[in-house]
Structure 1
Amino acid sequence: MEILIISGLSGGGKSQTASFLEDMGVFVVDNLPAAMILKFAEFCATGSSRYQRVALVCDVRTGESFEELFAVLNVLSSSGVSCKLLFLEATPRAIIKRYKETRRRHPLANETTTLEQAVNQEIDLMSTMRQRADYIIDTTDLATAKLRAQLGRLFVGEDEGANMEVQVVSFGFKHGIPLEADLVFDVRFLPNPFYIDDLRHKTGLDAEVYDYVMSFPQSTDYVAHLKSLLGFSLPWYVAEGKSSLVIAIGCTGGHHRSVSLTRAVAEFVEQTGFSVSQIHRDIMK
């Protein structure tokens, strides 16, 4: 079992870090009191594999002495649990700028006169936590994508591309474009099996329809162009920090051409090393 304590300065990126780790399959609990961590660890140890990698967000909001947290971590470490502490920080100027942009109140606002005083007071309060940290990440000039990539390498061991899930969705334009689509491709220009009596009541999941659609040079050429485009762009989506991508392929009704092309594209995406799933939204309509 692995426990990661996420701590650091308010405005340093703890919430974003927690969200990224959650996307990577880590079970995240925010602001758990130190007194409850041992009981929570016992529960996780007897639970399912979902709780084998856990991240706990701990900061000044608990209002507790960090010595209690350190004592708990020592107990867990002596019992064989892997415990690591991640500290996120940024310069006071960067933190103040972020608070002004979000218009949120600093947790120490009631104890100080200005935001700058609150930030500096928190830096002092969190100094012992920073000294105890196994990892320190300064997010002052760290792009979102780079933060996500760094977290993946440090705590999840993700390789290039493994952290983005791709959905390839077939649909019919007469039923509307999928709202969640990132990329939309229109294949209504391809020959339509609907006008072939023997194929009309079949779908692109049937070999006869798939073979018919893919028997035309415009189909194979189009798939080749899609492969070239996706082969180029998918790694850049990963570099940008995207955790999921929805590729929508549409024909008129969503039964024949879009289903056939979805199969071909999904097969290619899987071959490139991405986790991929197929959804045929309108195939039963």
Structure 2
Amino acid sequence: MGADMNASFQQDDANDLVFVTGMSGAGRTEAMHSFEDLGYFCIDNLPASLIPNLLDTARGADGHMTRKLAVVCDARNKAFFADLQGELKKIADKGIPFRMVFLDAGDDKLVARYKASRRKHPLCEEGMTIAQGIAAERALLFDLRNAAHDVIDTTDMLPMQLRTRIRELFSENEEREGLAVTVYSFGFKHGAPLDADIVIDVRFLPNPYYDPALRSLTGLDVPVRDFVMYRDETVEFLKRWRELLDVVMPGYVKEGKQQLAIAVGCTGGQHRSVALAESTGDYLKTRGYRVSVTHRDLPLAESVRCALDETPDSKKDE
């Protein structure tokens, strides 16, 4: 079976359909989360008999997958693996490309992990030890391990290292594109951000609010953007800010972080923070990151402007 399966292996298309199996305790759950982060639709412990139905719904008229799938298989159903081998053979015979990942670990490490988790091994029957259950599972999975396209030994791996290895094998883009970055502006007067990983305070920059011609505009408008961006203080700040981003961003990627929120704050979240959040997002995009930019408090700023219009002598900040 191994030769037939590997004959079907075409790198580009095979990455769209992945079967993940291996020893219990070797990291299948962590692997599933990693595939989810890579944009795969993940199915845990799908009965082998349903695999053809799954493929029928997931493949387009041209035979290609309409979305990337990762099917995680384990030993909770002892008869599953015999059926799985048969279904994979049928898939290979039809010329449907796929890839199988087998997660393994040393017996001593698996025993230690089960003792630490206090969970029962799925193949441990009454009177069996953890080690005996592991031995039974290893024998059951022998053929699947030999047929796998990728065998990952997690004996000495931390979860972060397993995630990194899966990204290396299955990410179609630059590694940094696996990090989803959200840059958003906000106003401190409306509350500090609670979910940001990085907060930058730009209230030290000149405030467009005090120019009557700019007061009702936002950082999305060209006059306000130019007022903010072409100040000497802003030019110097952006130089240092971008240098800092060039240092910390690769560190987050190396750590395996999947989501990062950067909050840029001014007083009301209307002028300076909006312009600089847009600038920050544009810069990170040029560095190859996947970025979205939002403005948390612009609706609040609009309501404040309406109130100020009714109070011409107001001395309040933006």
Q: Is the 8 A contact 1:27 1:51 kept in 2?
A: no
Distance in 2 between the 1:265 and 1:26 partners? Answer: 29
Q: What's the counterpart of residue 225 of structure 2? A: 210
- Count of aligned pairs between the two proteins: 285
Q: What's the counterpart of residue 263 of structure 2? A: 248
Q: How does 1:60-71 map to 2 (within 5 A)?
A: 60-71=75-86
1:90 to 99, 102, 105: 105
| Structure 1 residues 156 and 81: CA distance shift in structure 2, 3 A | farther
**Does structure 1 residue 17 correspond to structure 2 residue 31?**
yes
Q: How does 1:72-221 map to 2 (within 5 A)?
A: 72-221=87-236
| Structure 1 residues 111 and 128: CA distance shift in structure 2, 3 A | farther
Q: Is the 8 A contact 1:37 1:72 kept in 2?
A: yes
Which digits, 9 at most, give the CA deviation of each residue in 1:208-251, with x for residues without a partner?
11111123222111111110011111112111111121111111
The letter of the residue matching 2:255 is E
TM-score by length of 2: 0.83
Displacement over 6 Å in runs of 4+ = 47-50
Segment of structure 1 superposing worse, 57-66 or 121-130: 121-130
Distance in 2 between the 1:224 and 1:99 partners? Answer: 51
Q: What's the counterpart of residue 307 of structure 2? A: none
Percent of aligned pairs sharing the same letter? 39
Q: Is the 8 A contact 1:144 1:241 kept in 2?
A: no
Segment of structure 1 superposing worse, 8-17 or 170-179: 170-179
Distance in 2 between the 1:168 and 1:282 partners? Answer: 13
Q: What's the counterpart of residue 304 of structure 2? A: none
Q: Is the 8 A contact 2:181 2:289 kept in 1?
A: yes
Which digits, 9 at most, give the CA deviation of each residue in 1:22-63, with x for residues without a partner?
111111111000010011111111499874321111110123
| Structure 1 residues 101 and 279: CA distance shift in structure 2, 3 A | farther
Which digits, 9 at most, give the CA deviation of each residue in 1:133-168, with x for residues without a partner?
111001122233432232123223332312112111
The letter of the residue matching 1:59 is D
CA RMSD after TM alignment? 2.1
Q: Is the 8 A contact 2:208 2:271 kept in 1?
A: yes
Distance in 2 between the 1:134 and 1:14 partners? Answer: 16
Match of 2:71, SS? strand
In structure 1, stretches of 5+ residues that fail to align are none
Q: How far did residue 16 of structure 1 move?
A: 0.9
Q: How far did residue 65 of structure 1 move?
A: 4.5
1:58 to 73, 89, 95: 73
Which digits, 9 at most, give the CA deviation of each residue in 1:91-129, with x for residues without a partner?
223223333444433323444543333333322332232
Distance in 2 between the 1:214 and 1:255 partners? Answer: 15
